[in-house]
Homo-oligomer: A and B are copies of this chain.
């Protein structure tokens, strides 16, 4: 059995092959009672293989009734068609099996709005747009695992149900089996869905040096924006002995390698989405791949923004400003025209575990901003001095007891480490050009929405 992707990639190679079996679903069906043209898709690519049925051996009454979405297994011979729009087509010799769709199957014309398709996440990837996005998502995930495996990074699955709530910020989901008198995880124990794998990941980086997580994380935020999900996947690498700048360069390399590989492996899907975006998508991605990352200190970014402060809505630009997207956009899209890593943020913006710089007011954090998108990655070097991190925990009134195991890492050979988090669905949005994060995950969960 040969996938349609492989056949379309090498039409000349497949020219003349006979008795090839194709299994897939019908995308379109046109013709008359003497000849029919079925476009078949098998999910290996968004492109279809055209199959021509002609001759007395076929029952054209049956063929006529097959609707888009119907499953079909058939045999035929392949013929390269270099002059035609499709590079190769199949002449059917045998209809082996089929299963039609019922009358009320929604996705036939494929001209349904993305909003409507969210109501049917189990079917929407039958449309070209969602099929392309999901193929790219899958390849992106596999390339990320490949990237880390090739570099001997240890893959650690951090817990989903946890008694730690990460940064102490953000709303968490609680987990229970409904028994309040005798809670499943024991009396007095918190049990919520993890908002990050970082803390657990750090403990493994302190043993395996270079590790990454790739798993689901959760926020119970009641905000319905285009960029927020209640359930999303995160990639969180953590490297012992890495400082901030090594980590920034590593994150840039990771993004560039996996995005380049995905463009190459999913060229048909990328070109399809590029057309949808009127040619802006691939231009944006190639610009990202070709440009050099700029690293700028937060306090220098403030100076740059002050120079042009009249162009912003928020003009009160001074040290301590939490950069808004208009400021970030200026830095990436106007000033540097490249991805920008802003480093050394005021400590008040950032989490307790970040490395405290000598100036006593900033931490060794970075945000990686990308033209046209904004923040794609956030990370930091970690504080490794037990007393310093403990002081910060107390300043921020975080419950020390819950975190004692994490703080203890600093007493047990945790010399230096750095890491970052990539929101996987944000990355899928960046690579596919989708405007709404709900299109970037198979079954989106948001406030009020839990289909299936």
Contact = CB atoms under 8 A, between A and B. Distances in A.
Interface of A: 3, 5, 23-25, 42-44, 69-71, 73, 97-102, 104-105, 120, 122-123, 125-126, 131, 134-135, 138, 141-142, 145-146, 148-149, 152, 154-164, 171-178, 184-186, 189-191, 193, 199-200, 203-204, 206-210, 215-216, 218, 220, 222, 230-231, 233, 240-241, 384, 405-406, 408-409, 411-416, 441-443, 445, 447-452
Contacts of A215: 215-216
Given A25-B207, A208-B125, A209-B42, A162 B452 contact: yes
Contacts of A131: 207
B43 A207 contact: yes
Given A102-B412, A159-B443, A184-B222, A154 B138 contact: yes
A337 to B, nearest CB: 33
Contacts of A452: 159, 162-164, 199-200, 405-406
Nearest first, the 10 closest Cβ-Cβ pairs linking A and B are A43-B208, A122-B203, A71-B415, A177-B220, A99-B415, A102-B411, A185-B450, A142-B149, A159-B443, A71-B413
A185 B231 contact: no
Contact of A208 (B135, B145, B176, B189): B135
Contacts of A3: 152
Contact of A163 (B146, B148, B193, B450): B450
A193 to B, nearest CB: 7
Given A123-B203, A204-B125, A161 B445 contact: yes
A251 to B, nearest CB: 18
Given A155-B141, A157-B141, A452-B405, A134 B175 contact: no
A314 to B, nearest CB: 31
A170 to B, nearest CB: 11
A309 B313 CA distance: 84
A377 to B, nearest CB: 20
A104 B216 CA distance: 34
Nearest to A126: B207
A315 B361 CA distance: 75
Nearest to A140: B155
Contacts of A415: 71, 73, 97-99
Contacts of A146: 145-146, 149
A191 B105 CA distance: 27
A241 B73 contact: yes
A445 B164 contact: no
Given A69-B413, A138-B156, A142-B149, A184 B220 contact: yes
A108 to B, nearest CB: 10
A300 to B, nearest CB: 29
